[in-house]
Amino acid sequence: MTYGSGFQCPQISGYVESYGYLSAAGGWFFLGWISNPPDILDRLEDAAAYFGEVSVTGSVAHLLFPRGDAGDGAIGFLIFIESEETPAVALSRLRIGRGKAQQVISPMLNAPNLAEAKLIPQLDFAISQAGDSIQRLQMKTLIARDMDSEESGFIETFGFHQAAGGWFISGWIALADADVRRFDRMTISFEDGDLRGEPVVAIFARPDLPSGAHGVVLFLRTPLGALGPLRSASLHDGRGRVSLQVIAPAPQYRETEFVSSLDYSLALAKPSLGRERLVNLLSRRRYAGHDTTETLRPAINIYIEEAIRCGTNGLALIGWMLANPRDISHIRVRCGTMAESLDPAMFIKIDRPDVLVAMAKHGFDESNCGFVTFVGGEFDPDMPIYIEIETRRYQIAFLNVPEQIRSGMAAIKHLLSIIEPRYNEIRPAFDRVLGPAIEALNQARNAARTGLELLEYGRIPQTPRFSVVVPLHGRLDFVEYQQALFSNRSESAEIEYIYVLDDPPKRREAQGLFASVHERFKIPFRVLLLDENVGFAPASNAGLLHARGAFVAYLNSDVFPGTETWLERLSAHLTADPLLGAIGPQLLFEDGSVQHAGMYFERSAEYGGWFFCRHQEKGLRYSGTDALQYAPAITGACMLLRREMAVQLGGFDEAYIIGDFEDSDMCLKLHERGLKCAVDPMVRLYHLERKSQVSGVVRWRANLTAYNAWQHDRKWGKKIESLQESRAGRLS
């Protein structure tokens, strides 16, 4: 096991029995024992405490003392690490060392993290057991910082304010310069735990107090309620510490009880940012279902135009915001008990001149004030979603998030149509917002798929050798040409053709066409009518589930045979070579130039440096040999696999949407199993490339290709690099 220093840290015999943070000392104390202690304990130089994977390091002090109760050869230890870090998780290990010699001490099961009130007596006892030494004096001095503080005060009332989300304390401090001190840390100590954070402080004059004393109202934000009886509180700044003790019996008031008394006290305080913050905190009200952003001063202009629930895994927000960032403390998205931070620095900005024209009279000149952002988390579908805005002055306001109007593919297209990131912009856009939002939408879309209707035309072969799966979307007339060419075969009993209609609005047109082509060409085929448009991968996978052949051929509807026995010739290679995972033909354009003869990968600077598939010799006359051409990937426009292998691989990965990168993903899954991909250049088919799709370049479609490239590169980027390195080595 290796930790931050890089040295190996074996575990020794002993345990941390208890530990805790002491605000006065400014660090962590660890109490425990070790059997046969190593020499490094005598001259300890460094230590680190690990709370989960968060490490706490700093100046170190230590003290050893007898522990006869722990067995022969055992010795007790008290170790101090100076640090302001106070992780919220339990201690997982303590590393101690000197130079390269490092040891690890584990905590006992359920070793307590002691509140200061319970920690101090244990520290006193440990020190009392040690003999006189410099180390003992050092420990006493550390703890005495708490005992000997000359700056003190008293707590008169306290209470927890739900809407403000923290504790209010009212009392007084004997501090002549209290009104100029800037306290940046506060600890509230209860019997069973301590709460720490940055306080809000207001000082005011109290004529009933002796000279040099001031009234004080304090607030500490914390999600926790009381941890047993209140023992004390302390304030810290660069000059020292002020300890406030509880005046018995200081009452813990209910929220409605202490608000009026604190309002009176704050009215006596001098105007200050602290006073204003406390007034705003006290006046807070919980979310009541309506917008209150108009109450904020200075104004925070934020508007949510559309919200898209991304399944149960997040929320995409589209809107605009005009505000001074310095006026904002936090923005949170809330739903029920869930709260997720909304950081404007993570917004993908959108140019909104329409908003700027409307808001110019308020002095704003940011044209890119529009945004789209993604908030992760499980949003309860039965609970309203709203935004909570907190200002630097601790005002709070709420903004309702509108109900969803788009879902599924409509939501995906909309998200992809509102921005067009490229080059340096594209990675953050997809990593932060578009990628996770669309991924979650697609997962929900796939999970919600309904059913299909199965139709059969003619007598379908019961034990075919080949299953040819043809997804259909857009142009349907290619079915007629394919069937005409398929009918030229002298024998078709070994082949089952499976058409998958992935275009529900064309169901009626398709059924008429299917009946017509079967009547004319007499080729049996099966049709799967999907209830909704799902895309290439899910449509092809539906065909695979119904396939019965020993081999499955994936075929685009705009691919036509140029070699009559293409299936037999391609399958012969798979039969002859068990290390061949997938094979395809050479695909040609109508003029005989190469459309596909194998694919390789190339990074695109325009698209984030992600790998894209490139076709070898595309648009040229084929110049290679007649032998098999091995390639990193082959196209899914015509790809033959053993059906058993296709099933084992789970078909095409449905994380890709509509149709891009599914084929190279399939090939890379084969490479992961040690299998190869190849093209037989002597088997030729013709490909009209994308003519089966609706023409026209639209922004969302280009961005969808970018999304699929983002998915593909995250999954396979390192694998592609290794393939290219090994290929370069073979060629050198």
Residue 600 has pLDDT above 80, yes or no: yes
Burial 660-697 (b: 16+ CB within 10 A, else e): bbbbbbbbbbbbeeebbbbbbbebbbbbbbeebbeeee
Q: pLDDT digit string (tens) for 426-462?
A: 999 999 999 999 999 999 999 987 789 999 999 999 9
Q: pLDDT digit string (tens) for 556-567?
A: 999 999 999 999
140-148: average pLDDT: 69
Q: How far apart are CA 536 and CA 556, in angstroms?
A: 10
Q: How far apart are CA 353 and CA 325, in angstroms?
A: 20
Q: 36 vs 70, 109, 130, 481, 700, CA distance in Å? A: 11, 21, 18, 87, 69
Q: How far apart are CA 449 and CA 498, in angstroms?
A: 20
590: pLDDT confidence band, cut at 50, 70 and 90?
very high
696: pLDDT confidence band, cut at 50, 70 and 90?
very low
Report, in angstroms and rounded to the nearest whole number, the Rg of the chain calculated over CA atoms: 36
Q: How far apart are CA 347 and CA 303, in angstroms?
A: 14
Percentage of residues in the chain having pLDDT higher than 70: 95
The reported pLDDT for the residue numbered 178 is 82
Q: How far apart are CA 207 and CA 684, in angstroms?
A: 100
The reported pLDDT for the residue numbered 363 is 81
Tokens 């008429």, located at residue? 512
Q: Phi and psi for 298 in degrees, rounded to 5?
A: -70, 165
559-576: average pLDDT: 96
Tokens 């003619």, located at residue? 458
* Least confident stretch, 10-19, 58-67, 544-553, 671-680: 10-19
Q: pLDDT digit string (tens) for 513-555?
A: 999 999 999 999 999 999 999 999 999 999 999 999 999 999 9
Three-state secondary structure readout of 465-513: CEEEEEEECCCCCHHHHHHHHHCCCCCCCCEEEEEEECCHHHHHHHHHH
Residue 690 has pLDDT above 70, yes or no: no
Mean of per-residue pLDDT scores for the chain = 90
Q: How far apart are CA 63 and CA 41, in angstroms?
A: 9
Percentage of residues in the chain having pLDDT higher than 90: 71
The reported pLDDT for the residue numbered 148 is 43
6: pLDDT confidence band, cut at 50, 70 and 90?
very low
User: If DSSP codes are grouped into helix, strand and coil, which group holds residue 44?
Assistant: coil
2: pLDDT confidence band, cut at 50, 70 and 90?
very low
176: pLDDT confidence band, cut at 50, 70 and 90?
confident
405-414: average pLDDT: 94
Residue 98 has pLDDT above 90, yes or no: no
Please, which residues have CB within 8 angstroms of residue 491's CB and are 6 or more apart in sequence? Answer: none
383-399: average pLDDT: 95
Start-to-end C-alpha separation, the chain: 40
The burial of 393, by beta-carbon neighbours within 10 Å (0-12 exposed, 13-18 middle, 19 or more buried), is given as middle
Residue 391 has pLDDT above 90, yes or no: yes
574-600: average pLDDT: 96
**Which residues, in sequence order, are bridge partners of residue 686?**
560, 588
Q: pLDDT digit string (tens) for 227-241?
A: 888 999 999 887 778
Q: pLDDT digit string (tens) for 20-73?
A: 999 888 899 999 998 877 666 777 888 999 998 899 999 999 999 998 887 777
Residue 298 has pLDDT above 60, yes or no: yes
222 and 195 Cβ atoms separated by less than 8 Å: yes
The reported pLDDT for the residue numbered 695 is 44
Tokens 């190469």, located at residue? 594
**Model's pTM, two decimal places?**
0.79
User: If DSSP codes are grouped into helix, strand and coil, which group holds residue 324?
Assistant: coil
Q: How far apart are CA 103 and CA 110, in angstroms?
A: 21
676: pLDDT confidence band, cut at 50, 70 and 90?
very high
226: pLDDT confidence band, cut at 50, 70 and 90?
confident
Q: Which amino acid is at 47?
A: A
Could you tell me the maximum CA-CA distance found in the chain, to the nearest angstrom?
A: 112
The reported pLDDT for the residue numbered 727 is 66
Residue 146 has pLDDT above 80, yes or no: no
Alpha carbon 112 to its chain centroid, in Å, reads: 32
Residue 175's region, left for phi above 0, alpha for psi from -120 to 50, else beta, is beta
Give 9 or 604, the one with higher predicted confidence. Answer: 604
The reported pLDDT for the residue numbered 473 is 94
Q: 35 vs 13, 101, 104, 128, 727, CA distance in Å? A: 6, 17, 13, 21, 58
Handedness of CA 81, 85, 89, 95 (dihedral sign): negative
Q: How far apart are CA 201 and CA 220, in angstroms?
A: 9
Q: How far apart are CA 698 and CA 417, in angstroms?
A: 8
473 and 503 Cβ atoms separated by less than 8 Å: yes
Q: Which amino acid is at 446?
A: N
Q: How far apart are CA 153 and CA 171, in angstroms?
A: 7
Q: What DSSP line would sit under 199-265, residue for residue? A: EEEEEE--TTSPTTEEEEEEEEE-S----SSEEEEEEEETTEEEEEEE-TT--B--HHHHHHHHHHH
The reported pLDDT for the residue numbered 691 is 56
Q: How far apart are CA 662 and CA 541, in angstroms?
A: 11
Alpha carbon 621 to its chain centroid, in Å, reads: 47
Residue 394 has pLDDT above 90, yes or no: yes
Q: pLDDT digit string (tens) for 617-670?
A: 999 999 989 999 999 999 999 999 999 999 999 999 999 999 899 999 999 999
DSSP state of 413: H
* Least confident stretch, 240-244, 361-365, 399-403, 635-639: 361-365
Give 142 or 578, the one with higher predicted confidence. Answer: 578
The reported pLDDT for the residue numbered 10 is 52
